[in-house]
Amino acid sequence: MHSPYPAIAGLLILWMSGSSAAIIMQDGFENPASAPIVGGCNLFPDNNMWNTPIDQAPLHPDSNSYIASIGANTSLHSDFGTSWAGRDIGIPFNIVPMGQNRVPIQFQWWDESDLEADRCNTGGAQDTGCYPIPANPVIEGAPVDEGDRHLLILEQGSCKLYETYATSNASGGWTAGSGAIWDLNQNQQRPAGWTSADASGLAILPGLIRYNEVMVEGEIRHAIRFTLSNIRSAYIPPASHSDGRGGCDSQLPAMGQRFRLRADYDISSFSAPVQVILRAMKKWGIVLADTGSDMFISGEHHDNWDDEMLAELGQLVAGDFEAVYTGDPVGYGNCN
């Protein structure tokens, strides 16, 4: 597809040998702040997509169509917090020390998963990798065995991020739907068409709203992950995959599409911590990263969140946002 903005150097993708590509942000996305730090590791380089502001990015020509497809009056929902109905809300993550013991983990979609199979005894199975899973990791949806069951592990020192989807140890051995390993010191894109632990092929941890950045640091310096139910079967790099159920409909957003809270939206009536989140939505935006409920915003599970405060986000609706242009979609499956 020909770009409607030929003069804009928004994303420069440098294909490299092997299974990854470097993503470098260029003109139009200037002055990225220093990348967020978790566990002593930068969550990707400063110029990574997650860490690059879009407040000055051009409005997408199909922004109105995208918002209409969601429903302009669809409320935001904070899909994170403390717990509800016996289930932890949000996506937790694990921080393990350098050299954490690797254990075998078998993948359903092993041919699109990173295996790192040389650091534990896999018995030579082509569908089994080696991940640094601690003895009692926190997993999304615990203690109830439901939902996407994402397992996120950040290894200190190596600054590698291990993420899996549909993770289980019910039979005494670790299994998952898919797995991705991210070197947080590099800008990476998964091979075209590959999933990750997210349907977009993106990393998860860098897009979570985290407790410390809202309640302690008072600033979010990255884009925020969110979900929709009706997505085009296409992706915008550095996304690499789509399970979009909307087929080839160009009036629907693709995986990796970025939106921002409109600059003129008045946030002064919200509590101070929620204003931190809303300022980030204006500057860094939100990234369509997975299929799920409409306008569900992702964050870290933390027992100290104030759920009533987070419910203030429900005052916003999809119509308060606009889509921005960061690149053309790549058709997936029958939409090539």
How does DSSP assign 102-164, residue by residue? Answer: PEEEEETTGGGS---TTSS--TT-TTEEEE---SS---TTTTS--TT--EEEEETTTTEEEEE
* Residues 96-118, mean pLDDT to the nearest whole number: 95
CB half-sphere exposure, 4, CA atoms < 13 A: 10
Q: Could you read off the pLDDT of 5-49 as tens digits, one per residue?
A: 433 333 333 322 233 333 333 333 444 568 999 999 999 999 999
* Residues 47-62, mean pLDDT to the nearest whole number: 96
Residue in 73, 67, 25 with CA at minimum distance from that of residue 47: 25
* Residues 233-250, mean pLDDT to the nearest whole number: 94
* Residues 59-81, mean pLDDT to the nearest whole number: 98
**Distance in angstroms (rounded) separating the CA atoms of residues 179 and 164:** 4
**Distance in angstroms (rounded) separating the CA atoms of residues 253 and 327:** 12
Which tops the pLDDT comparison, 83 or 225?
225
Query: What does each C-alpha distance from 175 to 130, 161, 170, 289, 298 come to in angstroms?
Result: 11, 18, 9, 23, 24
Q: Could you read off the pLDDT of 262-282 as tens digits, one per residue?
A: 999 999 999 999 999 999 999
Q: Could you read off the pLDDT of 88-102 as tens digits, one per residue?
A: 999 999 999 999 999
Share of the chain above pLDDT 90, in %: 81
Global confidence as pTM: 0.90
**Distance in angstroms (rounded) separating the CA atoms of residues 286 and 279:** 11
pLDDT of amino acid 171: 79
The answer, yes or no, to whether residue 2 has pLDDT greater than 70, is no
* Residues 231-255, mean pLDDT to the nearest whole number: 95
Query: What does each C-alpha distance from 307 to 89, 146, 177 come to in angstroms?
Result: 10, 21, 31
pLDDT of amino acid 144: 67
**Distance in angstroms (rounded) separating the CA atoms of residues 256 and 202:** 8
Residue in 2, 22, 5 with CA at minimum distance from that of residue 13: 22
